[in-house]
Amino acid sequence: MTERSPLAPSGFPDLPAIPGVTPRVARARYKQWDRCDLTYVELAPGTSVAGVLTQSKCPSPEVEWCRKALVLGQARALVVNAGNSNAFTGNRGRAAVEAIAARTAAHLGCEPSDVFISSTGVIGVPLPVDKAEAGLDAAFAAETCSWEDAAATIMTTDTFAKAASTQAVIGGKTVNLVGIIKGSGMIAPDMATMLGYVFTDAAVAPEFLQAALNAANAHSFSCITVDGDTSTSDTVLAFATGAAGNAPLSDADDEGADAFAAALGDLCRQLAHLVVRDGEGATKFIAVTVEGAESDRSAHRIAMSIANSPLVKTAVAGEDANWGRVVMAVGKAGEPAERDRLSICFGATQVAKDGLAVEGYDEAPVTAHLKGQDVEIGVDLGLGDGRATVWTCDLTHGYISINADYRS
């Protein structure tokens, strides 16, 4: 594993167990590495599921499988393979997914459609069925593992295991939400990004769980980018076991629905930020906020144009307050903007206003801000009330090194 990201948290969080969720890990040996690479999570009968999936037109068979299974709204198991994405593998890839689902379903006595599957790693290499089945058999017999083990096992180029938790109170019952996630490169979503899994003991109907996840995703996973590339395998799934005993949430007007939705949104935002903090080669965590746009959607598109700009990202890596690159990124976004209304800030310091550099502004606090690990770029278009914040990281030589050597 490469050196731990300088933006990583100090340690793995203390996470509660979720009743009805039993994680296990095993070695399928998809690659020549000395670590577990298959995660198996058993879910209690009656568990609801929701998900958001990549909008890539070249999705993996795992994504296609999950897309069909999500319609049914129920889950009994999750299987995640690390080291091989099984994408762009034709009928052999589809057969591998079907074999994993069938073997897991036979073990649990459920339908194959109750089994959700993800794979991550190199594209274009069929997932070896013999290794998958041997890994599954080992996982079925394994002891329950920790959340840290589960989070570490789904990693590929990640430098640290990623997880978070939160709580909500529903009708007097405290419910817990735990999430694990992997992702470091090929991060730029349409609806979802990387591989992320949320588990809660709340009782939530599948339809409301899907609505809440869609809303949470819109302000978290769909607001991050590392390199502008959308994966073939991006998946976020949420599982609700109902073990907390709250009155089931089936509608946004139900008591506690707002609290649950807010907690889910908070958890997804925490997880999304962890992915950016592990961006390949990253040394800076960058928040880009665009205000004064004609609409929130327009603000989001402009913010992503800034966040995806290699020129902006390399300037931040070099701790250079080159706000001209921000102007460039605003102008190329294809959204309404007027040069002579545009204002730009780095941190708390305004460097440009009404289409001009701020006369005599002090660059010292800007330089100090850019030397920190957390960088803020603010843009005001002066056109309307639209607003959006997205998160990205800088672009360094480390990103090139990691991806130039990825298959070797």
> Would you say 403 is a known binding-site residue?
yes
User: In 3D, which of 164, 172, 219 has the Cα closest to residue 191?
Assistant: 219
Alpha helices, DSSP H only, in 39-128?
A: 61-70, 90-108
The alpha carbons of the chain give a radius of gyration, in whole angstroms, of: 22
Q: How would you classify the pairing of strands 285-293 and 162-170?
A: unpaired
Q: Which of 201, 204, 156 is nearest to 182 (CA)?
A: 156
Active site residue 200: no
Tokens of 187: 């991060």
User: In this structure, what token pair is assigned to residue 143?
Assistant: 């002891």
Q: Is 389 labelled as part of a ligand binding site?
A: no
136 phi/psi in degrees, rounded to 5? -60, -45
- C-alpha 127/C-alpha 119 separation (Å) is 9
User: Is residue 159 marked as binding?
Assistant: no
Letter string b/e over residues 66-88, b meaning 16 or more CB atoms within 10 A of that residue's CB: beebbeeebbbbbbbbbbbbbbe
Question: Distance between CA atoms of 147 and 144, rounded to whole angstroms?
Answer: 10
Q: What angle do CA 191, 193, 197 make, to 5 degrees?
A: 105
State CA 211 to chain mean position distance: 18
Q: Is 148 annotated as a binding residue?
A: no
- 332 a known binding residue? no
Q: Which of 193, 230, 232, 235 is catalytic?
A: 193
Q: Which residues contact 125 (CB under 8 A, 6 or more apart)?
A: 84, 85, 86, 89
Residue with tokens 């890596």: 317
Terminal C-alpha separation, the chain: 13
| 179 within 8 A of 165, measured Cβ to Cβ | yes
Ligand-binding annotation for 343, yes or no, is: no
> For the chain, what is the total number of helices (H) and then of strands (E)?
11, 14
* Rounded-to-integer distance, Cα 67 and Cα 75, Å: 13
Cβ contact 275:164 at 8 Å: no
Q: Which residues are catalytic?
A: 193
- Residues in the annotated binding site: 156, 182, 193, 280, 403, 408
- Residues in the annotated binding site for substrate: 156, 182, 193, 280, 403, 408
